[in-house]
Amino acid sequence: MKKSIIITILLLTICFSAFAQDSIVKEEYKSDLTYVNVQVFRAYDQKQAYVVMYQKNNNKIGQVLLPKSWFHSVDGEPKKGILRTLPKLISPYMTVIYKNNEFHKVLLNMPLKRDDPAWSVIVPDMDLSNKLNTETLEIAY
């Protein structure tokens, strides 16, 4: 009995592997877009930018500045940033999208209510203009 079960399983495995499709992805199906998700601990709202504290791979905390101009369409150009609201019970996170290995867009996924602990405020008169890079996003994972 055991031998027949083992032989049947072995034959099924051989049969499935013979009919399995090739797992190599064709070049025409590859995308030029890639993305990285990071957990957001806190986002500080300031008049010039969002200052986002996020988790790095080595369990350290990273900081990145997202200019608020990215979140508004100017002269018909596509936005570089999108602020999306999260459903309840989902932790805040940020998605950084790359196109051809260059920064393309950032999605900041935060709770709707600004009284949530994930949101905070920085002093409004703090000048962040010398630290803002409005062209690209430099972020360490």
54: Cβ–Cβ under 8 A, 6 or more apart, which residues? 38, 39, 40, 41, 61, 62, 63, 64, 94
DSSP 25-69: PPGGG--SEEEEEEEEEEEEE-SSEEEEEEE-TTS-EEEEEEEGG
Q: How many CB atoms lie within 10 A of CB 139?
A: 18
Domains in the chain, CATH or no CATH each: 27-121 (2.40.50.140)
Q: What is the pLDDT of residues 88-127, one digit of tens each?
A: 889 999 999 999 989 899 999 999 888 888 899 887 777 7
> CA-CA distance, 80 to 84, in Å (whole number)?
13
pLDDT of residue 108: 94
Q: What is the pLDDT of residues 34-68, one digit of tens each?
A: 999 999 999 998 888 889 999 988 889 999 989 88
pLDDT of residue 8: 79
Q: How confident is the model at residue 5 (pLDDT cuts 50, 70, 90)?
A: confident
With 0-12 / 13-18 / 19 or more C-beta atoms within 10 angstroms meaning exposed / middle / buried, residue 101 is: exposed
Instruction: State yes or no: pLDDT of 129 exceeds 80.
Output: no
pLDDT of residue 27: 65
Structural element, H or E, at residue 53: strand 49-55
pLDDT of residue 19: 63
